[in-house]
Amino acid sequence: MNIRVKINANLRPYVTNLAELPQGDIWEVADGATINDILSMMKFPEGPKVMALLNNMLTKEWDKPLKDGDKVLFTPLAGGGAGA
């Protein structure tokens, strides 16, 4: 199945195998693949914490099977706020 994957530019330096990943936004993945599977494909280290948006909505269900045509965005956790 095909999904659209975006990796925030601030995270790209932490992806150790960026050159080995599919080029472009459309990735072909196995049926039943999850956000955790995509994260594993990126060989993302234990460094910065990330959050995932699935079809433009923040999700914590990283083990839920993705569907053909889904969009996944990985972005760093935001910090700050009042008094920061």
Q: Is residue 48 situated within a structural domain?
A: yes
Domain, as residue range, for 43: 2-76
Q: Is residue 28 situated within a structural domain?
A: yes
CB-based contacts of 74: which residues, under 8 Å, 6+ apart?
Answer: 5, 6, 7, 8, 11, 39, 42, 50, 51, 52
Q: How many domains does the chain have?
A: 1
Spatial separation of the C-alpha atoms in residues 63 and 83, rounded to whole Å = 35
CB 6 within 8 A of CB 24: no
Q: Is residue 82 situated within a structural domain?
A: no
Q: Is residue 84 situated within a structural domain?
A: no
Q: Is residue 18 situated within a structural domain?
A: yes
pLDDT at 79 over 70: no
The predicted-structure confidence for 25-71, as pLDDT tens digits, reads as follows 899 999 999 999 998 888 877 656 889 999 999 999 999 999 999 99
What's the token pair of residue 73?
Answer: 């965005």
The CATH number that applies at residue 36 is: 3.10.20.30
pTM of the model: 0.84
Residue 75, CA atoms < 13 Å, CB-side half-sphere: 12
